């Protein structure tokens, strides 16, 4: 895709579908033989799989199947003043989000539940990235950027965990 996805009400289904297709491709590579010691390796190959044409599952499903360690791999891209997640409906469990700052300003990613922060990255410079490990219990979460006024500029997205 050449244009960044926006998390407006009109394009969220499109973003979910695109993220689901991308994630299905990542799952295909992950299932082909990563060891437990290589758990960070699939993120490095995400650009290689972004053009694969894996079959699409329902757009509301979890971002990926649990890895051998029981942790689910997911992606979060911080672009300009938008957050693009690999899914907004997830199953409860342990997740490792590969967070990348693909925008031109510094950003972070904070995971909030019931008004309390449960996980956060460091502030990432443009082009930077970090792995964020978090256990998601059933409920509603808000993923947002806490830098400056970025959250009030729309840099937040609601995630439902069942």
pLDDT band at 68 (very low <50, low <70, confident <90, very high): low
Cα separation, 126 vs 54, in Å, equals 30
Question: 100 is written with which tokens?
Answer: 């990348």
Query: For the ranges 9-13, 77-81, 83-87, 112-116, which has the lowest average pLDDT?
Result: 9-13
Residue 161 and residue 92 in contact, taking contact as beta carbons nearer than 8 Å: yes
Q: What is the pLDDT of residues 121-156, one digit of tens each?
A: 999 999 999 999 999 999 999 999 999 999 999 999
Cα separation, 61 vs 88, in Å, equals 9
Enter the pTM of the model.
0.60
Pick the CATH number of 12-31+65-161 from 2.40.30.260, 3.40.50.10470, 2.140.10.10, 2.60.40.420: 2.60.40.420
The residues spanned by each domain of the chain are: 12-31+65-161
């Amino acid at each position: 895709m050449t244009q960044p996805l926006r998390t407006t009400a009109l394009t969220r289904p499109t973003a979910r579908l695109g993220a689901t297709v991308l994630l299905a491709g990542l799952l295909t590579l992950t299932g082909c033989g990563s060891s437990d010691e290589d758990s960070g390796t699939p993120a490095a190959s995400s650009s290689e799989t972004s053009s694969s044409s894996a079959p699409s599952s329902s757009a509301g499903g979890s971002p990926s199947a649990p890895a051998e360690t029981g942790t689910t791999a997911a992606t979060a891209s911080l672009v300009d003043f938008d957050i693009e997640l690999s899914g907004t409906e997830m199953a409860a469990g342990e997740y490792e989000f590969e967070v990348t700052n693909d925008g031109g300003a510094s950003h972070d990613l904070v995971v909030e539940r019931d008004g309390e922060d449960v996980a956060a990255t460091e502030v990432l410079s443009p082009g930077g990235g970090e792995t964020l490990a978090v256990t998601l219990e059933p409920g509603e979460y808000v993923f947002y950027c806490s830098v400056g006024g970025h959250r009030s500029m729309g840099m937040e997205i609601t995630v439902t965990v069942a």
